[in-house]
Amino acid sequence: MRSLFLLLGGTAAAIATCAAPAFAVDAFTFDTSSTVFIPSGQDPGKGTLILKLTGDAATKNGSLVLRDGNVGGNPGTTVRLEMGEPNRSGSALTWNVNATVSGLPVNSLLPRYLEADYAGYKQRLDYTVTNRPPGSFSWNVTSAPQARKWDGEEALPFSLYVGPIPATNVRVLATSFVAKDSLDLVDGGFTICSGSDAECSGKSITLDANELHSLKIKPTKSLAAAPGEYHGTFTLVSSEAPKGETFAFTFYASSRLSKGFGTFLIAFGIFGSLYVNVFLQNRNERNAKLKPAAVLADQAKIVKVGFDELAATNSVAFVNVDDEFKDIADRLSDKKLEAAGFIGAMIPYLKVPSGANETPQAYKDYLDDIGKRLTALSLILRGCLEAVSIAKGNSNPKTADALKTALSSSDKLLSATMPLTKESLASALQVVLQTLRSDLAKASGMEDDSSGAARPRGFYVGYTSEQLAFETAASNFVGWCAFALLSFAVGWYLLIASNPAFGQARDLLMCLLWGFGVPAAGEKLAGLTAPSVAQGFGITLTKVA
């Protein structure tokens, strides 16, 4: 085979024919020296070919008739041939044929034929026209995205440099992306398009030689990927490089819903930490200090019930006793104890200690004084009950009046100026009881009057010992469940903001366990210390002795 080349814009159109036989027979051939150069950028391209006729037919007179035909391929390509006058040299005729080639795609190959007729001799010359630049094909992917956060819909930009030969029929192939942890497959079609193709129609493209092209890869449909890290490859292929150029790609999928839920879990942990470490701890300390007062309040309630029953059944008003209970209830109320500095406030305002500033001894003396007053009330109640017992066994008609007098006298003992010690109070009660016995002995009748009974009033200080015990147990339970939560900002930064693939079940679990210090929360949590966190945020911690 011998070849004739037409250089079109730096590309070559090659025409290949059969060699002429060694003996003198009629034959048309293309002269191998007829390589012509056509300036770059011309379409159609023009050049001159040299056609030879040898053998007996060359000795005859006649005119040359040429007809070009397309064997197959691109029907839009045409080759128009125009020949000049023949040049006779010995037993051969030579024609300069002006060839005009138009519509030949870059990097294409087109089989054609030429029918030559001279003085009755006809011959068909098969040849192939190719439009290939000189040199070898090469391309190189530059600025390809190695890894990025991706929503599964946006186009991925990258750059591709094409060497001396243009790239035709460029398209993209992609393997399925595989999740790093679950190994789930995410399959989807992809298309390549130039930067100017806003719609990214998906058609194959042609890239000019010796240029850096701005391209993008876009999925043909949205990739519904669960949150996670995915790995895969893209392969660019063309007619010149059927094996393709492969580059790896990693994308991280997440969602606003996942991040919002993770943020909620961290916030839940932070508020839980504040509740446990500040509010509940303060309440436990407060309840512990309230327990002695609660015991006194329970005792006062029992004694108060006894007086209320006496007042109701005997139509007598214990004025001084009621005032004493009111004062004790006020002195045992949490507001009074808080104002006196014996217990802390219910809401600690994020400071420890929460407000208790009196010494334990002062608090003990305070409660001892209330205890002595309750003892006095108990003794008076016992004396009143004894008086009722004395009156109950007497049938004297004036017993009711005498009993009321005795109960009122017992009530007035609380207003006496003498100190209410056990001994002095017991002596005073004996005088009242003795007076009752004397009055009943002198009386000649009795009258039953149960109307106008005093309405009993309950004893209430705002808390009970059972309530304090329950609250303390509940606080301890929550404390074991929610102890040692870290700050919201640190958790959000390390678990959500720094994780582009946030949203997997493991991530949500780490958010929930973050503040609890559970080792399962990951290596970050295990190696996290207060100084390391502070250093990461540019904070200088000052050690406080």
- With contact defined as beta carbons under 8 Å apart, do 378 and 428 qualify? no
Per-residue pLDDT band for 13 (boundaries 50, 70, 90) equals very low
pLDDT, average across residues 355-382: 83
Per-residue pLDDT band for 107 (boundaries 50, 70, 90) equals low
Q: Could you tell me the two tokens for 443? A: 């009386």
109 has pLDDT over 50 = yes
Please confirm whether the linkage preceding 292 is cis (ω < 30° from 0).
no
Q: Could you tell me the two tokens for 301? A: 């309630």
Q: What per-residue confidence (pLDDT) applies to 139?
A: 87
> Residue 239 contacts by C-beta under 8 Å, 6 or more apart in sequence?
107, 167, 168, 169
Name residue 212's beta-bridge partners: 161
Q: What per-residue confidence (pLDDT) applies to 239?
A: 84
DSSP structure string for 344-373:
--SS-TT-SS-S--S-HHHHHHHHHHHHHH
Q: Do domains 2-130 and 139-253 have the same CATH topology?
A: yes
How is the chain split into domains, by residue range? 2-130, 139-253, 269-442, 486-545
Tell me phi and psi for residue 52, to 5 degrees: -115, 145
- The one-letter amino acid code at 158 reads F
In tens, the pLDDT along 137-189 reads: 888 887 666 777 777 677 788 888 998 888 888 888 866 778 787 777 777 67
Q: What per-residue confidence (pLDDT) applies to 128?
A: 72
Per-residue pLDDT band for 199 (boundaries 50, 70, 90) equals low
Q: What per-residue confidence (pLDDT) applies to 523?
A: 45
In tens, the pLDDT along 121-148 reads: 888 887 777 766 667 888 888 766 677 7
- From the DSSP assignment, how many helices (H) and strands (E) are in the chain? 12, 22
In tens, the pLDDT along 372-408 reads: 888 888 888 898 888 888 888 666 667 788 888 888 8
Q: What per-residue confidence (pLDDT) applies to 401?
A: 80
Residue with the two structure tokens 């309630």: 301
In tens, the pLDDT along 310-329 reads: 888 888 888 888 888 898 88
- 440 burial class (0-12, 13-18, 19+ CB within 10 angstroms)? buried
Q: Distance of CA 290 to CAs 34, 277, 463, 474, Å?
A: 115, 20, 9, 16
279 has pLDDT over 80 = no
Per-residue DSSP letter, 40: T
Per-residue pLDDT band for 362 (boundaries 50, 70, 90) equals confident
Q: Given phi > 0 = left and psi -120 to 50 = alpha, else beta, which region is 419?
A: beta
In tens, the pLDDT along 228-271 reads: 788 888 888 888 888 888 888 888 877 778 778 888 887 887 77
CA distance 102 to 92: 31
Helices (H), 170-314: 256-274, 281-314
Per-residue pLDDT band for 24 (boundaries 50, 70, 90) equals low
Does CATH place domain 2-130 in 3.30.70.20? no
DSSP structure string for 426-469:
HHHHHHHHHHHHHHHHH---------SPPPP-----S--HHHHH
Q: What per-residue confidence (pLDDT) applies to 444?
A: 45
In tens, the pLDDT along 40-76 reads: 445 677 777 788 888 888 888 888 888 888 776 667 7
Fold of 139-253: Immunoglobulin-like (2.60.40)
- With contact defined as beta carbons under 8 Å apart, do 69 and 112 qualify? yes
Q: What per-residue confidence (pLDDT) applies to 540?
A: 47
- With contact defined as beta carbons under 8 Å apart, do 310 and 385 qualify? yes
Q: What per-residue confidence (pLDDT) applies to 6?
A: 47
In percent, how much of the chain has pLDDT > 70? Answer: 67
Q: What per-residue confidence (pLDDT) applies to 446?
A: 42
Total-model pTM: 0.44
Helices (H), 152-202: none
Per-residue pLDDT band for 36 (boundaries 50, 70, 90) equals very low
Q: What per-residue confidence (pLDDT) applies to 502?
A: 72
Least trusted range by pLDDT, from 103-107, 189-193, 427-431: 103-107
In tens, the pLDDT along 436-493 reads: 888 777 764 444 333 333 334 444 445 555 665 556 655 555 554 444 445 666 777 7
- With contact defined as beta carbons under 8 Å apart, do 399 and 387 qualify? no
Q: What per-residue confidence (pLDDT) applies to 539?
A: 45
Q: What per-residue confidence (pLDDT) applies to 98?
A: 83
208 has pLDDT over 70 = yes
CA distance 17 to 36: 17
Going by DSSP bridges, is the β-strand pair 167-174/205-207 parallel, antiparallel, or unpaired? antiparallel
- Strands, sheet with 211-219, edge to edge from the N-terminal-most edge strand: 139-142, 156-162, 211-219, 190-194
Q: What per-residue confidence (pLDDT) applies to 419?
A: 56
